[in-house]
Chains A and B, each alone.
Chain A
């Protein structure tokens, strides 16, 4: 009895700054509320309620991010950094998640939605046919999405490696699940889920090993503590280098950079298409945010050591993504390789560590932040368009089926062309501004060779984007080709948001660029 009392007296109650953590707490709260809704709400009302709750939660979380702007500090006993990059990326993730969730909730294009009626039913079994006939959908996907978003919010904001690892798992686990729940081509989807899970677990092991070694080096998992140890050159150099390498491998896997990209095409192809779009945009944002924080805050003093490595990986990633995309015949796989190539372009911006802008902003950070926003919105839009081109078997993803699409549906063809132009980096789209930003940051950071290679690779990438455009506009449509389905307002809004942001950031990028510049300073 007495021992218990004395222990309680010794325990120092931790400080939890609820205001600073509000974005994450709101999203996690909505996720938990969604789980409860699943348990207690009658099935017919679940879908609408869940959707409304999710969107409301995302908007509320975004509002709280906006309210925190400019108020930078460290929260939750130093576990969470609330600073420029963290808030910028959190805001970006929340805004991108809204079209992502809307596209996911689409139920008109494929009757019953994009998800299997029950994950447990055997593909093609009578039980499944019964569920399809009764138009039953799985609404558990909404809480799962919210948990993933919560993890994504925490990932770029985590200020120690332990929290970062937990965030990594929180964002990954729901995605593994969501990948395996596609309504059409279930076996492909399940295979994608399994591959993603196994390789994800494998990369987590690398991450964890790196964390352990860095702990061995610095005696702490706090990024600031590691930075201190690096600057004072205390401890064992080998542990530091090996640890940093392994940690970076874990993060580069999530980013989808070569040579850790092999999961990307399979998973992007197998997952339900709106989930692919969501994953491609938001996961990339979160993972790059974490990578930025580790490299700039944690081992920033070691930039001389890691810059050449990132150099090499950037070149390899751009090369693998652009060249292999040329050989793809499936539109989702092609977009997957395109996302790998874009990871390479973003990595170029990362190299410009010592590039400082006119107002003292870190160009390396701000250009990456900007690129992530532009790429994310375009990707969500592009994948949402892919869901609309369908034949009897579901989505028509083979490139030959897209021939002459412009004659069937000029609007969709034009919108898709616009997204592809953004990916290719054509002026007046956001892709151009973004590429310009990262390349100029790298140029200012004296990585000129890298910039030249990047420009060449952009040209190669432009080739396969234009191949699709040519196919859509100048080929004769196949006689039994797919039709373009008119979606419900949900997908329409998602595509519209994607297209609008792509256009706006192409024409008037200044505001967001300035915002990214303002947000480029880390809290240490």
Chain B
């Protein structure tokens, strides 16, 4: 793959690395991702425990740091079961298909600027393409195959349903995700990750293109099948979802893929919206902050920030219902993304063609957006009023033992005045709904 990627038309400054450097970078990325996975799993358990006033794993190694490693070894030593009804070849292929693309996407993520490694000047990035961000989308869409095939090949109902759910989910949210990128492309004038980072020298796109950023962050949670969007493995409905029938190392691969994907989408968010490896504001005043190896630190910190948000969401939010989730994707995120994109394109056109002052455009656009948002609130309010204004259906007398079974009164039905010996019921029995 690398040879091929390097053979294609290069982005300035790429494709000139000696072979050992390419290999080294690849290995470092792999190790980085595996370590991040181990760390994230542990962090997730500790952080969620903290949020739930528990302690979390703290026995294996100092502060429980080796817990994930121990779990991994345990997982590897478990019995590897392939169900009888499973379709063997595809069953084995699926976890591989799920994991490999997760790693591949990281090839175009910039960790830092140009540095010197053993005398070679090189970018801290495996490679770059003129279409790097699209490449990440492409690789992610291959990863979906892993999930689909896992569900299908298991020869069992829950996995199949889970995999269908997750595919529908991933494809739907990929649309919103792709749309959120376009604003960035328009402003950066490029789809290559290193150039997008370079274009964020003055301000980060999270500020400039906040709606894009918000849409991306929401859809990135959907893309990774994480809570509150983890419908594909909703235990209450689908047991384990697509990986119900998997065990041992194959299951571990899915586990790995999920966490690597989390790291990947976080890294992408960092690159596209948070200035990539650039130092955040107060630090950026120090000139050396964006040179040499320091940026790797800022980059990792930003990625960890996103990972924390992932964990936070999981600790906080309940799972969405499937139809609500799809509605959010198709009827909210995509239209909003398209509308926002139109605005961005208009502003860009005004900027380039007529030299409009960006601030003027922002002010007018902001006023228009505020009015629109205000109108939606009014609309919502009016709609809610008209819904509530609907008079409750006046129904027949309440029969407390309908069909021989005690039932509460329906809305609009009056609880008959009960007279208990010695008291007048009037003061206590209002029209309460709950007995």
> Which residues on A are within 8 Å of B, measured CB to CB?
1-8
A4 touches B348 (CB 8 A): yes
Q: Which residues of B contact A8 (CB under 8 A)?
A: 352-353
B195 touches A4 (CB 8 A): no
Q: Give the complex CA separation of A4 and B190 in angstroms.
A: 8
| Chain B interface mostly | helix
* Most chain A Cβ neighbours within 10 Å, of B190, B202, B352: B352
Mark the stretch among B22-30, B49-57, B181-189 that contacts chain A. B181-189
Tell me the residues in window 191-217 of chain B with beta carbons closer than 8 Å to chain A beta carbons: 195, 199, 202
- Can you report 23 residue pairs joining A to B where beta carbons are below 8 Å apart? A1-B187, A1-B188, A1-B189, A1-B199, A1-B202, A2-B189, A3-B188, A3-B189, A3-B190, A3-B195, A3-B199, A4-B186, A4-B187, A4-B188, A4-B189, A4-B348, A4-B352, A5-B189, A5-B352, A6-B189, A7-B189, A8-B352, A8-B353
Closest 6 CB pairs of A and B: A4-B189, A3-B189, A8-B352, A7-B189, A3-B190, A5-B352
Complex: chain B residue closest to A11, CB-CB = B352
| Minimum C-beta distance from B44 to chain A (A) | 38
Q: Give the complex CA separation of A421 and B237 in angstroms.
A: 70
| Minimum C-beta distance from A66 to chain B (A) | 37
| Minimum C-beta distance from A280 to chain B (A) | 40
Q: Which residues of A contact B188 (CB under 8 A)?
A: 1, 3-4
Q: Given contacts A1-B199, A2-B189, A3-B195, could you give 10 more A-B pairs where the C-beta distance is less than 8 Å?
A: A1-B188, A1-B202, A3-B188, A3-B189, A4-B186, A4-B189, A4-B348, A4-B352, A5-B189, A6-B189
| Minimum C-beta distance from B171 to chain A (A) | 22
Q: Which residues of B contact A4 (CB under 8 A)?
A: 186-189, 348, 352
Q: Which residues of A contact B352 (CB under 8 A)?
A: 4-5, 8
Complex: chain B residue closest to A3, CB-CB = B189
Q: Which residues of B contact A2 (CB under 8 A)?
A: 189
Q: Give the complex CA separation of A292 and B186 in angstroms.
A: 43
Complex: chain A residue closest to B351, CB-CB = A5
Q: Give the complex CA separation of A492 and B325 in angstroms.
A: 53
Q: Give the complex CA separation of A4 and B183 in angstroms.
A: 12
Q: Give the complex CA separation of A7 and B199 in angstroms.
A: 15
| Minimum C-beta distance from A43 to chain B (A) | 22
Complex: chain A residue closest to B201, CB-CB = A1
Q: Which residues of A contact B187 (CB under 8 A)?
A: 1, 4
Q: Which residues of B contact A1 (CB under 8 A)?
A: 187-189, 199, 202
* Most chain B Cβ neighbours within 10 Å, of A1, A6, A7: A1
Q: Give the complex CA separation of A8 and B349 in angstroms.
A: 9
| Minimum C-beta distance from A345 to chain B (A) | 50
| Minimum C-beta distance from A406 to chain B (A) | 59
| Minimum C-beta distance from B13 to chain A (A) | 15
Q: Which residues of B contact A6 (CB under 8 A)?
A: 189
| Minimum C-beta distance from A355 to chain B (A) | 52
| Minimum C-beta distance from B305 to chain A (A) | 26
Q: Which residues of B contact A5 (CB under 8 A)?
A: 189, 352
* Most chain B Cβ neighbours within 10 Å, of A2, A3, A4: A4
